[in-house]
Amino acid sequence: MSYDSQRHHRRSIRLKGYDYRQPGAYFITICTQDRACLFGTVVEGEMHINDAGRMVQRWWDELNRKFHNVQTDAFVIMPNHIHGIIIIHPVGADLCVRPENSCVHPENLCIRPENLCVRPKWNARPGDAGVRTDARGAHTGAGGAHTGAPLPEIVRWLKTMTTNEYIRRVKNDGWTLFRKRLWQRNYYDHIIRNDESLNRIRRYIVENPLRWHLDRENPDRINAEN
Residue by residue, DSSP assigns 31-78 as EBGGG---SEEEETTEEEE-HHHHHHHHHHHHHHHHSTTEEEEEEEE-
Helices of type H across the chain: 5, 51-66, 151-173, 195-206
Render pLDDT for 45-88 as a digit per residue (tens, 0 to 9). 999 999 999 999 999 999 999 998 999 999 999 999 999 999 99
Q: What is the pLDDT of residue 173?
A: 97
Q: Name the pTM for this structure.
A: 0.73
Distance of CA 51 to the CA centre of its chain: 20
Please compute the mean of the pLDDT values over residues 18-24 and round it to a whole number.
Answer: 82
71: Cβ contacts below 8 Å, ≥ 6 apart: 64, 86, 87, 89, 95, 96, 98, 117
Render pLDDT for 150-203 as a digit per residue (tens, 0 to 9). 999 999 999 999 999 999 999 999 999 999 999 999 999 999 999 999 999 999
Max Cα–Cα distance, the chain, nearest Å: 59
Q: What is the pLDDT of residue 140?
A: 44
What are the respective helix, strand and coil percentages of the chain, to the nearest 5?
A: 30, 20, 50
Phi/psi for 173 (5° steps) reads -125, 5
Please compute the mean of the pLDDT values over residues 11-19 and round it to a whole number.
Answer: 59
What is the 8-class DSSP label of residue 100?
T
Please compute the mean of the pLDDT values over residues 20-32 and round it to a whole number.
Answer: 92
Phi/psi for 114 (5° steps) reads -70, -15
Show the domains of the chain with their CATH numbers: 5-214 (3.30.70.1290)
